[in-house]
Structure 1
Amino acid sequence: MKFLKLVLILVCALFAFESYAQSSADLKRKRERLNNELEDLNREYQETLKNKKATIKQLNILKAQISLREEKINTVNSEIRLLNGQINENTNTVHTLQGQLEQLKKEYAAMVVFAYHNKSAYNKLMFVFASTDFNQAYKRLKYLQQFGTYRERQAASIQGTQKDLNVKINQLDRTKNEKSNLLQEQKKEKETLGKEQNNQAAVVQDLSKQEGTLKKQQRTLMAQRRQIDRQIQATIAREVAAARRKAEAEARAEAARQAALAANKARAENKSAAEIAEAAKPKPITRSTVTEALTATPEAAKLNNDFMGNKGLLPWPVATGQITQDFGPYVSDGIRNDNHGIDIRTSSGATARAVFEGTVISINDISGTYMVLIRHGSFITAYANLKSVSVSDGQKVNTRQAIGSVATDPFTGETVIHFELNKAGAIINPKTWLASQ
């Protein structure tokens, strides 16, 4: 039973370690990604410092740094909590193994004492010959043999338990060292975060002198967003109307064909003229919903289902970038805005790409930049703030195909793509559809 208990303890520890290793690896990968993003932001921020006057780009970079820094601190905290759990678990395992080892040593010591008192061959022979009959003598002989074998097994168990104990102690030491390093990193990140928050406050104070210009920029941005929304809705309405006209024309043609067949059948059955006329009337056409209109063809329906099947797996509209403004309402510089998509800051000259295969249904000029709309069944993706476009209206595109280059704002110096997702006229948060970076 004691051996079985030890095995169960080791098996549970093994499963826990595998789970810990997987979670720890995920957190380490996330921390490395955040480190890379923070390094990129720091390089950009150092470039902006060449301009002695505070800029919106400086403020936005600082905001992004603070957000990523807080996320990294939370990630480090999660790693520390995970390590604390592993330390507690390994400590308990070490105590259990130590207790098991002590018990094995006591049992072995007792056997050694017994063996010492009965070490002479004469004592062993007397023990066997003192039996009352042959069966008892045979059993006593087997007992002596089994006793020797058991001693060997106990010695092997002691060695194995000692080895497991050493492994766990070494693992515990490594985990404690890893925790110590993480605590140092956490302390450093908190100090850096405080400096960045102070820098942000200084930049905000400097930018407050440019309040009129900033609010003008915000109003311009809001006007652009409204124009984007109007263009998207107008394009969807046009697509739906065209799809409905086509579907209804096909439905009318099919209804007329069915009516002609019914009339011919009525004539063949020598029915009255009134009955023939009634049979010749086409059946009324039911108006399709927006989704039905946009997925009327087998190709559109398949594309629509394929798109839905890739929720959470779609590639980003740019190869690398960070979300600077999330989906939904927000307030910036005292002005309330509502983002129907997400804004992704990327590198200068970055290429915009389709997140899924589909057909380009519209290319619009939005205040000097371009917006491309791509239809995927009943889903439509929008890519705004493009400096140039490399596709044409009606062109079929593949997943990750380049559709243009992202524009850089001359005032803020930032390269940001605005990305939206729409399903049959309904606005959807695109972040939940994109793959995690």
Structure 2
Amino acid sequence: MSLTKIFLVFAFVFVTGSVFAQSSAELKRRKEALTREIEMLRRSQNKVVNNKRLSLKQINALNAQIRLREAKISTINSEVRLLDNQISENTNNVRSLQSQLVKLKKEYAAMILFAFRNQSSYSKLMFIFASSDFNQAYKRLKYLQQFGDYRRKQARYIQETQRELGHKIQQLDHNKREKSSLLEDQEKEKITLGKEKSNQSIQLNKLSKEEKQLRQELTQKQRESARLNRAIQNAISREIEAERKRAAAAAAAAAKAAAAKGDDTEAKPVAKGSKVLSATPESAKMTSDFTGNRGSLPWPVANGTIVERFGRHSIGNVSTENNGVNIQTNEGAIVRAIFGGTVSSVMNMGASTAIIIRHGEYFTVYTNLRSVSVSKGQKVTVKQPLGSVATDPTDGSTEVHLEIWKGTTPMNPEAWLAR
């Protein structure tokens, strides 16, 4: 076997091993993050387990816990599939290395036999002196030297192949043990998931018996949501109108200056709708930067999990509409700006406070704050503290509500936040 082929085999083994390590590490990090989120929800559920009054927040938290458990099982499945592929690759590598080792040893044995038959100095000298001319004698001398060097190289390759073979066999055994452990974890997670789904069914039955109370809670929630939406839309509309007036005034001033110079150039039209929020170079860059960070924005809290998602949801016979996401977090958690911008509004919502931050044409909204550490017109940076989350005194839950708007259109925050 040529040295080039041996090198290519080693390179393939190294590259596939590196790719597997990277993918495996990503899956492990994902699984650990899911485990932390599940544990946080479990602790929160334990705090309110003795609360006789069942609330929508508790049901949402239970649903989120089940969703995270299913995601964890799915991640374990991905780990098992990855290990299956690696076991298959390592098995093929072991067979390939074993085949190479046999060929290398066979070639080496032939070289040793040849060297043994021609080991005396007399034979070597006769081989050289039997040359027809000086040029042939020189070539024969170089051949003997190269043959010796090649034999030593072959011995080194045999040793390296043996070491690599031993390493791959150990790695294969480790993969098989890891797969066995993952399958055990998967079975435990499935059992726990079954228990959580049974508990979910019990709680939903309990909730259906309290439909009157549930509808009252839902009605209150819808009123609060409608009030928040009106406040957000009014604040955004004021921003748009203020920008439109500034842009119109600037256009009129530019037209007047041009007329004074005798320039008949028509005034630049003012952008319509929310596009006016990106009319200046600074705001246009802010809009572009915010758009460019889609899928990688930091979370508004250091630790948290989404317990109610964006859009319409049904619980029993009732439905709710969410223009953002509800993130359950630790009591007293600090709320942070997910992107740099300017505080557009700080609104008192009764028992809590809401903050709106403008990022060019985009707005981020942070609701259910107990305290606030910024003021209207203040410029903030990414991850700058805005205040702390309020805890619901009735059920002990701690949730921050996050919304992202592009002009007057609400967006799904999950698509913008880092995974």
Check conservation: 1:341, 1:429, Cα contact below 8 A.
Answer: yes
1:300 aligns with 2:246: no
1:320 aligns with 2:329: no
Quote the residue 1:170 is aligned against: 170
User: What's the offset of the Cα at 1:154?
Assistant: 2.5
Partner letter of residue 210 of structure 1? Answer: E
1:259 aligns with 2:254: no
Quote the residue 1:416 is aligned against: 399
In the TM superposition, 1:34-45 aligns within 5 A as 34-45=34-45
Quote the residue 2:387 is aligned against: 404
Quote the residue 2:377 is aligned against: 394
Query: In structure 2, how many angstroms separate the alpha carbons of the residues matched to 1:421 and 1:44?
Result: 26
After superposition, the C-alpha distances for 1:293-330 in whole angstroms (9 at most, x for unaligned) are 22334443343333334333322222221111222222
Partner letter of residue 337 of structure 2? Answer: A
User: What's the offset of the Cα at 1:257?
Assistant: 3.0
Query: In structure 2, how many angstroms separate the alpha carbons of the residues matched to 1:241 and 1:16?
Result: 58
Check conservation: 1:375, 1:381, Cα contact below 8 A.
Answer: yes
Check conservation: 2:271, 2:279, Cα contact below 8 A.
Answer: no
Query: In structure 2, how many angstroms separate the alpha carbons of the residues matched to 1:117 and 1:296?
Result: 90
3-state DSSP of counterpart to 1:356 = coil
Which structure is richer in relative contact order (CA contacts within 8 A, separation 6 or more)? 2
Check conservation: 1:341, 1:421, Cα contact below 8 A.
Answer: yes
Query: In structure 1, how many angstroms separate the alpha carbons of the residues matched to 2:128 and 2:361?
Result: 92
User: What's the offset of the Cα at 1:165?
Assistant: 1.0
Query: In structure 1, how many angstroms separate the alpha carbons of the residues matched to 2:253 and 2:140?
Result: 102
Query: In structure 1, how many angstroms separate the alpha carbons of the residues matched to 2:201 and 2:281?
Result: 57
2:314 to 320, 331, 338: 331
Check conservation: 1:357, 1:399, Cα contact below 8 A.
Answer: yes
1:349 aligns with 2:295: no
1:250 aligns with 2:250: yes
Check conservation: 1:57, 1:413, Cα contact below 8 A.
Answer: no
* Stretch of structure 1 that moved more, 284-293 or 170-179: 284-293
Query: In structure 2, how many angstroms separate the alpha carbons of the residues matched to 1:136 and 1:377?
Result: 83
* Stretch of structure 1 that moved more, 297-306 or 191-200: 297-306
Larger radius of gyration between Structure 1 and Structure 2: 1
Quote the residue 1:372 is aligned against: 355
User: What's the offset of the Cα at 1:143?
Assistant: 4.6
* Stretch of structure 1 that moved more, 203-212 or 88-97: 203-212
Query: In structure 1, how many angstroms separate the alpha carbons of the residues matched to 2:133 and 2:191?
Result: 86
Quote the residue 1:273 is aligned against: none
User: What's the offset of the Cα at 1:152?
Assistant: 2.7
1:361 to 336, 341, 344: 344
In the TM superposition, 1:9-408 aligns within 5 A as 9-51=9-51, 56-119=56-119, 143-262=143-262, 286-366=269-349, 368-408=351-391
Query: In structure 1, how many angstroms separate the alpha carbons of the residues matched to 2:272 and 2:19?
Result: 48
- Quick one: structure 1 residues 360 and 146, their matched pair in 2 at CA, closer, same or farther if it must change by over 3 Å? closer
3-state DSSP of counterpart to 2:410 = strand
- Quick one: structure 1 residues 96 and 220, their matched pair in 2 at CA, closer, same or farther if it must change by over 3 Å? same
Query: In structure 2, how many angstroms separate the alpha carbons of the residues matched to 1:254 and 1:111?
Result: 91
After superposition, the C-alpha distances for 1:230-255 in whole angstroms (9 at most, x for unaligned) are 22222222111122122212322332
- Quick one: structure 1 residues 97 and 376, their matched pair in 2 at CA, closer, same or farther if it must change by over 3 Å? same
Query: In structure 2, how many angstroms separate the alpha carbons of the residues matched to 1:151 and 1:246?
Result: 84
Check conservation: 2:60, 2:308, Cα contact below 8 A.
Answer: no
Query: In structure 2, how many angstroms separate the alpha carbons of the residues matched to 1:381 and 1:57?
Result: 23
3-state DSSP of counterpart to 1:153 = helix
Quote the residue 1:270 is aligned against: none
Query: In structure 2, how many angstroms separate the alpha carbons of the residues matched to 1:254 and 1:147?
Result: 87
After superposition, the C-alpha distances for 1:233-289 in whole angstroms (9 at most, x for unaligned) are 222221111221222123223323332332xx9xxxxxxxxxxxxx8xx96673422
Query: In structure 1, how many angstroms separate the alpha carbons of the residues matched to 2:297 and 2:159?
Result: 54
Partner letter of residue 88 of structure 1? Answer: S
Q: Unmatched 5+ residue regions in structure 2?
A: none
Query: In structure 1, how many angstroms separate the alpha carbons of the residues matched to 2:267 and 2:3?
Result: 80
User: What's the offset of the Cα at 1:100?
Assistant: 0.7
Q: Percent identity?
A: 49
Partner letter of residue 256 of structure 2? Answer: A
- Quick one: structure 1 residues 48 and 150, their matched pair in 2 at CA, closer, same or farther if it must change by over 3 Å? same
- Quick one: structure 1 residues 131 and 382, their matched pair in 2 at CA, closer, same or farther if it must change by over 3 Å? closer
Partner letter of residue 20 of structure 2? Answer: Y
After superposition, the C-alpha distances for 1:345-372 in whole angstroms (9 at most, x for unaligned) are 1122222222223222223343543222
TM-score, scaled relative to structure 2: 0.89
Partner letter of residue 32 of structure 1? Answer: E
Query: In structure 2, how many angstroms separate the alpha carbons of the residues matched to 1:115 and 1:307?
Result: 73
Q: Unmatched 5+ residue regions in structure 1?
A: 266-278
After superposition, the C-alpha distances for 1:95-121 in whole angstroms (9 at most, x for unaligned) are 111001111112222333344445556
* Stretch of structure 1 that moved more, 22-31 or 113-122: 113-122
Query: In structure 1, how many angstroms separate the alpha carbons of the residues matched to 2:282 and 2:216?
Result: 46
Partner letter of residue 104 of structure 1? Answer: L
* Stretch of structure 1 that moved more, 181-190 or 200-209: 200-209
After superposition, the C-alpha distances for 1:57-99 in whole angstroms (9 at most, x for unaligned) are 5433322221111111111111111111111111111111100
Check conservation: 2:247, 2:270, Cα contact below 8 A.
Answer: no
